[in-house]
């Protein structure tokens, strides 16, 4: 079967491993359309060419790049006519213009199309987005939801087709793997990786750590509008010597960054317009043998399972107790590290996600 995937997310080189795994299936001839860069809230994410073997790698500019709802690919029609796909895998939400464009073009070339959604809150959109969403839900041959609540939202919006719950991307355990590292000065190292925004709860993590006795340090990797406020909070709490802010790094450097941590914390908090949709940093940490602690926001408890500790969101005391429990128990750290890596191997490798995605293609065909 000839499959054309359209994915701006695949500008990140690590995510391209899923495509290599999909291309290994003998009955799939695969092509990927990816932009030369993506603008994420004003920050340019350039295309990384890391895993491009076994499939056709097509770079097409986006119109309105950086506009999540309104971007589209002007060259898509020509690529469809040239490649003649049987299946169009649209790696976009159903209410986006890019999905609407690809869905309409798929009908014109006689291909069957599917879309991907992370949306785990029932949100209603104004026209023209509601119109595009209605069209895409009606005409999709399949839908992939990245979390369990995503399927519930689709059903509530009237989608009647088949749904598979599959994360968008996994990790490669040959790349994200544990190894011994030298402990740096400052003792037990806690990490946060992600956007520096209010809903991610980094301020809660700082509050929880401010009362933690003994030697510890915190590394925060990310960018976002809350950085200045968080740096001020670090000063107010007297934590300047314990907390480091690190700038985002290219994806190939991430495994080594995880290995410097003794614990990863994802303290997300639900808001009326957002809750944690997956928490990819959790599976990356688990794959590298780093224990994880997460709040009970959204999909986090389902991702962690029994391979880490969960605390009630916005509860700084419970978070501190979870951190203390892991820091003070070497056997627990080892058990969680082993359980995390086993859970990733079972559920969250690129190969496993490619297998489940291939099964969707076979059902469509």
Q: What is the pLDDT of residue 251?
A: 86
pTM of the model: 0.91
Mean pLDDT of all residues in 5-15: 96
User: What is the rounded CA–CA span in Å between residue 13 and residue 68?
Assistant: 20
Determine the 3-state secondary structure of 73 from DSSP.
Answer: coil
Examine the pLDDT at 97 and tell me if it is beyond 60: yes
The burial class, CB within 10 Å (0-12 / 13-18 / 19+), for 253 is exposed
Q: What is the pLDDT of residues 292-345, one digit of tens each?
A: 999 999 999 999 999 999 999 999 999 999 999 999 999 999 999 999 999 999
Q: What is the pLDDT of residues 40-82, one digit of tens each?
A: 888 899 999 999 999 999 999 999 999 999 999 999 999 999 9
Identify the structural domains of the chain with CATH numbers, from first to last: 2-170+350-364 (3.40.50.2000), 188-347 (3.40.50.2000)
For residue 226 the two structure tokens come to 């809350």
Asked whether the CA dihedral 307, 311, 314, 317 is positive or negative, the reply is: negative
Model confidence band, residue 184 (pLDDT cutoffs 50, 70, 90):
low
- Listed in sequence order, the residues at least 6 apart from 185 whose beta carbon sits closer than 8 Å to its beta carbon are none
Residue 194 falls in which region: left (phi positive, over 0), alpha (psi -120 to 50) or beta: left
């Amino acid at each position: 079967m000839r499959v054309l995937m359209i994915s701006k997310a695949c500008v990140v080189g690590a995510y391209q491993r899923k495509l290599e795994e999909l291309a290994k299936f003998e009955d799939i001839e695969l092509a990927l359309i990816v932009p030369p860069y993506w603008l994420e809230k004003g920050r340019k994410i350039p295309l990384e060419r890391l895993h491009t073997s076994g499939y056709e790698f097509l770079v097409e500019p986006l119109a309105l790049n950086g506009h999540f709802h309104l971007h589209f690919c002007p060259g898509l029609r020509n690529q469809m006519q040239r490649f003649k796909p049987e299946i169009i895998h649209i790696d976009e939400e159903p209410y986006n213009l890019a999905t609407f464009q690809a869905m309409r073009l798929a009908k014109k070339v006689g291909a069957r199309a599917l879309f991907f959604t992370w949306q785990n809150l029932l949100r209603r959109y104004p026209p023209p987005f509601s119109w595009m969403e209605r069209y895409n839900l009606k005409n999709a041959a399949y839908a992939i939801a990245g979390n369990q609540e995503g399927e519930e939202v689709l059903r509530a919006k009237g989608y009647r087709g088949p749904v598979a719950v599959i994360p968008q991307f996994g990790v490669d355990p040959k790349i994200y793997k544990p190894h011994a590292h030298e402990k740096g000065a400052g003792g037990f190292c806690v990490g946060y990786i992600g956007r520096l925004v209010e809903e991610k709860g980094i301020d809660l993590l700082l509050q929880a750590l401010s009362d933690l006795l003994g030697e510890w340090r915190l590394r925060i990797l990310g960018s976002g509008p809350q950085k200045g406020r968080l740096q001020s909070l670090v000063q107010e709490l007297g934590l300047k010597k314990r907390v480091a802010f690190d700038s985002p790094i290219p994806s190939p450097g991430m495994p080594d960054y995880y290995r410097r941590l003794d614990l990863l914390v994802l303290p997300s908090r639900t808001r009326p317009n957002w809750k944690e949709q997956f928490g990819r940093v959790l599976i990356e940490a688990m794959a590298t043998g780093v224990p994880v602690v997460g709040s009970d926001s959204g999909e986090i408890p389902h991702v962690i399972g029994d391979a880490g500790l969960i605390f009630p969101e916005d509860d700084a005391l419970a978070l501190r107790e979870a951190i203390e429990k892991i820091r003070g128990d070497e056997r627990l750290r080892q058990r969680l590290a082993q359980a995390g890596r086993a859970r990733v191997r079972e559920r969250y490798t690129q190969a496993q996600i490619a297998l489940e995605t291939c099964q969707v293609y076979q059902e469509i065909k």
